[in-house]
Amino acid sequence: MKNNFEDEDIELMLGFKNGDISCFEKLFDKYKTKLLNFVYRFVWNQTDAEDITQEVFLRVYNSKNGYTPKSRFSIWIYKIAKNLCIDYLRKHRHEIIPIDEEIIQQLPDKIDSEPNVFVERKEINKTIQSALFSLPVNQRIALCLKVYENKSYKEIAQILGCSVSAVESLLFRARLSLRNKLSHVEK
């Protein structure tokens, strides 16, 4: 069955809809790491990111019978992830933002000989994370999709449900905001 989008992933989803579980497994293998990384950039917590990513795939699985391709599959699955991230952020708005442990693990091993450098880099990473987290949700989503997921402006617009010019504006404001918030951080 051909669709208007000529998307291999849509073909897999339609195969899954017709009962081929291996099609779902292929989609899962293709998107699990991408979505986990995308979600992690919003929640900064590995366990919560894994839970949300699992929920994305659960929703895809449960949507198989009613699935009708209306856009590329990647747009649809990222929309699901985006909505779950927004729900998560609404529920956890009051929580303190944790330090990104993955970044801290990349810091130099020689902290005994240079404790001041370690503390300074830890503070810089914390400042960067706070600046990213302080962006309005749509700006953060647009920035993550562009920078980390390498999505086009058109794809971002479809995921966010807005125009390409709105995406351009979101990215411009996000970069300007980050530049202002991080202008005091030494490179």
Which tokens sit at 46?
A: 């590995």
- Cβ neighbours of residue 91 closer than 8 Å, sequence gap 6 or more: none
Output the domain CATH number for residue 59. Answer: 1.10.1740.10
In 3-state terms, what secondary structure has residue 114? coil
Q: Would you say 24 and 16 are in contact if contact means Cβ atoms under 8 Å apart?
A: yes
Range of the domain at 76: 8-91
- The whole-number pLDDT of residue 44 equals 80
186, part of any domain: no
Q: Would you say 52 and 63 are in contact if contact means Cβ atoms under 8 Å apart?
A: no
18, part of any domain: yes
Residue 87: pLDDT over 50: yes
Residue 137: pLDDT over 90: no
Residue 14: pLDDT over 50: yes
Output the domain CATH number for residue 128. Answer: 1.10.10.10
Residue with tokens 């291996």: 22
Domain count, the chain: 2
Residue 65 sits in the same domain as residue 115: no
Backbone angles phi, psi at 80, to 5 degrees: -60, -45
- The whole-number pLDDT of residue 170 equals 95
- The whole-number pLDDT of residue 129 equals 75
68, part of any domain: yes
In 3-state terms, what secondary structure has residue 23? helix
Residue 157 sits in the same domain as residue 129: yes
Residue 16 sits in the same domain as residue 84: yes
Kindly list the distances between the CA atom of residue 125 and the CA atoms of 21, 65, 105, in Å, as whole numbers in the listed order: 42, 44, 11
Residue 147: pLDDT over 80: yes
**Rounded Cα–Cα distance for residues 167 and 91 (Å):** 25
pLDDT digits (tens, 9 = 90+) for 88-123: 988 876 454 444 444 434 434 444 445 455 456 667
Burial 140-172 (b: 16+ CB within 10 A, else e): bbbbbbbeebebebebbbbbbeeeeebbeebbe
Residue with tokens 């292929």: 26
pLDDT digits (tens, 9 = 90+) for 174-183: 999 988 888 8
187, part of any domain: no
Nearest Cα to 5, choosing from 82, 67, 83? Answer: 67
2, part of any domain: no
pLDDT digits (tens, 9 = 90+) for 15-66: 999 999 999 999 999 999 999 999 988 888 899 999 999 999 999 999 999 9
Residue 87 sits in the same domain as residue 118: no
Q: What is the pTM of this model?
A: 0.75
